[in-house]
Chains A and B, each alone.
Chain A
Amino acid sequence: MTAFLQLDRLTRRFGSVVAVDGVSLSIERAEILALLGPSGSGKTTTLRLLAGFESPDAGRILVEGQEVTGIPAVGRRFGMVFQHYALFPHLDVGQNIAFGLESLGVRGGDLHGRVEAALALVDLVGFERRRVADLSGGQQQRVALARALAPEPRVLLLDEPLSNLDPTLRERTRREIRAVVRRVGITTIIVTHEQEEAFDLGDRIAVLRAGRLVQAGTPDELYRAPATEFVAGFVGRSCALAAELLEAGDEGARVRVEGAVWRLSGAPGLAPGAVRLTIRPEGLRFVTPAPGTLTAKVTDRRFAGAQAHFTLATDGGATLEVTAEPEAVPLGARVGVEPTGRGIHLFSPEVA
């Protein structure tokens, strides 16, 4: 069976810039997909292509195997929550929510009932006659969500839904959005540039860079097995440095990092030679400096409760981050590090 929503080699150019470059994705019914990427990666354009505000230069969009690429936004029945909410300022909360229902021809008591139901869904019962301008940012966000969901769209699109809220509200609103979307069971695509949001909201995450889909997978997959150095750096923290792959086999690899030679598990799938190494903070542990270990100086220490994050400058000039016990090493000390056996990935050097 094909997926509920399919993006098939979608491409959108603006002049000479390719904003979205052959993106293909499959999203299952009721799945929540987070489109994650830095600004300019094409994630918002992808969302606007889905909404029908932009037309692709190539590629197709299919819902349940039916192509919807040529259907304009008006007829597509995709709900959208805008970054700045785009609530109609001259209409009250109830009228905003009724707007999409009226387009469907819902009238009278039925209309009223469905507006009430939508308000109940976002926990805003009794707010029907309030003016939009009188609501707080979080409440406006929920009205926007209720308005998008009221006409029972086939797909829900959320454009950076939390970027307009202050940080203390974000986490709560994130939970609320997740709960509502789960309860409705709607197929959802959410655009964000924050990995924490993507981790929290998305069943799966699609990482975009310069208009291309780099990797799609569950948060765990992306963290454990990043497909590129970019994903390793963008999803979770990691430091990158140059190394030399000495030997690669099915059970492991030997790499030379500055003066040290490390044994890493797993098949790197690379030929021996120059490589890039990404190291997560949990990928290294401190050892006594000795010949044959990678030695570095502790340049910074940030205390974070049970653990501390240490910044190291290696003798070769690279910067590393290590997470360890708060009292593991003093600031300014010379230390040695060795791999813990996880959180280190090898990539070929030419694909930056």
Chain B
Amino acid sequence: MTSVRRGTVLGGILLVLLVWLVAYPLGLVLLESVHVPGGWTLRYVFRFLAGSNEWQALWNSVWTSVASVVLAALIGVPLAFVFSRLEFPGRGLLGSLIALPAVLPPLVGVVAFLFLFGETGFAARLVQSVLRLDNPPWRLEGAWAILLVHAYSMYVYFYLFTRAALARLDPSLAEAAAALGAGRWRTLTRVTLPLLRPALTGGALLTFMTALASFSAPYIFGGGFRVMTTQIVATRLNGDYTAAMVQTAALTLVALAGLWLVQRGEMTGSTGGAKGAAPTPIVHRGGRVAATALAWCLAIVLLLPHATLLLLSFVPVGTWTVEAFPPAYTLHNYLALLSEPERLRPLVNSLWMAGAATAAAMAMALGAGVAVVRRRSPGGGMIESLLALPWAVPGTVFAIALATTFSVRSPWTARAVLVGTLWLLPLAYFIRNLPITSRSVLAGFRGLDPSLEEAASSLGAGRWRTLRRGTLPLLRPALAAGASLAFVTALGDFVTSIVLYTYDTRPMSLEILSSLRDGDVGVAASYGVLLMALSALAFGLTADRSPESR
């Protein structure tokens, strides 16, 4: 069999799998939104269009996402400039610390935020005890709470994108502008910012899509403020399946529209490419002290929620009532978590499901790399689009789509009952991981010099040896980056889990939520810390210094 034929066969298999697992469920959602057991109907669509609640939720989703983009940019972009351009003590350490929220599961960040800024949180208690108030000074609820959490967790996208772009920016461009008589402001507006445009567009797109798909923050802090993701889950819990389908379809359309709008406005820009400017040491003594103090304060503010989480994980249940600081500390929460089988179960669940999903997604991505990049099999563009699609579609939407597809036994339409089994949640993780792994792996394959493989075969290395000694080691950074990001994403997943979990497959995120509901703050916190530690470990083991985009 020739390699071209092999590529075609491999590409065909991938295409069939992807159509079945990615496109088909989404298509079914669209179909089911106009289909009821009795036949076809547009009733639910009209009800959606007429319903003020639904429109309100959709509008809330859109405007909070846009506002999140603005807020995240306002924090992330200046921060990137400070850390790229100024040299001060602690720059390196702080620079990586403030990128931390990107690698932490959203739910952990949200819970940490709750413990710090919630009405019974650390900050509120402190203010309450200092001012001797009878009631908590504020309630962390509604749109502003969601925006606060979004700004806090999403500035990182702008920060990382801008820093990476600034690092690639040829410093002689700014010098050229100065030599041509352009002052700081003109250099910034006419040279630097236009060159950062691709990075800023990328940051904006990522923030918008993440905010639109955000579930944890609105779920926990929303209160009466409904956004589309929480609305869908609520509608579904009410048993109104067709209405939930219509809402799901509407959110999908908004997400795709957002994607299209931003990509249309994007231009391909290259900055020419020498090394970036070295940071300027701040010569003025006062300036240096001020910049250092400011940067440290900022970093502390940004890291405080996670520090709070860590602190709370050592507080015994029920001992912390009115004091500003917890009166007692214990390891009991962690011991409970590890010694009680019921408590340990979610950890085991999360680990095996995330591991299996990551392994499967990596295998699929490698297959796609061979088929699309190496063998140039027909339908390559289609394969790539389908691999990327789950990224553009909010997690809630995919969860609903999978729950719909795999709730019916119908072999002729390629449907089976997976709802309520062990397999649905890992399957969902796998599909949600496809964009992450395939992006890294495909980029890795594209970065490979084909003549290296040719060189290997001309040196007498067989196909297997070429792969094992040549291709795989060269791909390792890309594989490691993709795998660790996918694993961490699946490990901390909450959005799809809350729709698809069963008691036997309940993951850590849901255990955190239920401990929180039971008032078991210490256990929730220790689970949060464990999740953070595992995420950090996964990244640490595969550390690749370049900032990964998502």
Partner of B178, one of A73, A90, A104, A151: A73
**One of A74-82, A260-268, A290-298, A303-311 contacting the partner:** A74-82
Q: Which residues of A contact B186 (CB under 8 A)?
A: 103
Q: Which residues of A contact B271 (CB under 8 A)?
A: 89
Does A89 contact B181, Cβ atoms closer than 8 Å?
no
B6 interface contact, C-beta 8 A: no
Top 4 closest pairs, chain A to chain B, by CB: A103-B181, A100-B180, A86-B172, A86-B176
Q: Which residues of A contact B197 (CB under 8 A)?
A: 90
B53 interface contact, C-beta 8 A: no
Does B175 contact A53, Cβ atoms closer than 8 Å?
yes
Does B170 contact A84, Cβ atoms closer than 8 Å?
yes
A82-B172 Cα distance, complex, nearest whole Å: 7
B interface, over-half SS: helix
Q: Which residues of B contact A84 (CB under 8 A)?
A: 170, 172, 272, 274
Chain B residue nearest to A80 in the complex (CB) = B179
What bracket does the count of chain A residues touching chain B fall in?
Answer: 20 to 34
Q: Which residues of A contact B269 (CB under 8 A)?
A: 89-90
Does B182 contact A86, Cβ atoms closer than 8 Å?
no
Partner of A75, one of B172, B173, B181, B272: B181
Contacts A82-B172, A84-B170, A88-B191; A53 near B178 (Cβ below 8 A): yes
Offer 11 A-B interface pairs, CB within 8 angstroms, sorted by A. A51-B175, A52-B179, A72-B178, A74-B178, A86-B173, A86-B176, A89-B269, A89-B270, A90-B197, A103-B186, A148-B180
Partner of B182, one of A51, A74, A89: A74
Chain B residue nearest to A72 in the complex (CB) = B178
Q: Which residues of B contact A199 (CB under 8 A)?
A: none
Does B180 contact A147, Cβ atoms closer than 8 Å?
yes
0/1 string, A267-293, CB within 8 A of B gives 1: 000000000000000000000000000
A148-B179 Cα distance, complex, nearest whole Å: 8
Smallest CB–CB gap between A319 and chain B, Å?
Answer: 39
Q: Which residues of B contact A76 (CB under 8 A)?
A: 179
Does A79 contact B179, Cβ atoms closer than 8 Å?
yes
Does B181 contact A82, Cβ atoms closer than 8 Å?
no
Chain B residue nearest to A132 in the complex (CB) = B272
Contacts A89-B270, A90-B269; A99 near B172 (Cβ below 8 A): no
A217-B179 Cα distance, complex, nearest whole Å: 28
Q: Which residues of A contact B177 (CB under 8 A)?
A: 88, 99
Q: Which residues of B contact A87 (CB under 8 A)?
A: 176, 272
A77-B191 Cα distance, complex, nearest whole Å: 19
A58 interface contact, C-beta 8 A: no
Residue among B173, B180, B271, B274 having the largest count of chain A Cβ atoms under 10 Å? B180
Chain A residue nearest to B177 in the complex (CB) = A99
A71-B22 Cα distance, complex, nearest whole Å: 62
A133 interface contact, C-beta 8 A: yes
A74-B174 Cα distance, complex, nearest whole Å: 11
A3-B119 Cα distance, complex, nearest whole Å: 75
Does B172 contact A103, Cβ atoms closer than 8 Å?
no
Residue among B175, B183, B186 having the largest count of chain A Cβ atoms under 10 Å? B175
0/1 string, A46-70, CB within 8 A of B gives 1: 0000011100000000000000000
A333-B180 Cα distance, complex, nearest whole Å: 62
Interface residues of A in 81-124 (CB under 8 A from B): 82-84, 86-90, 99-100, 103-104
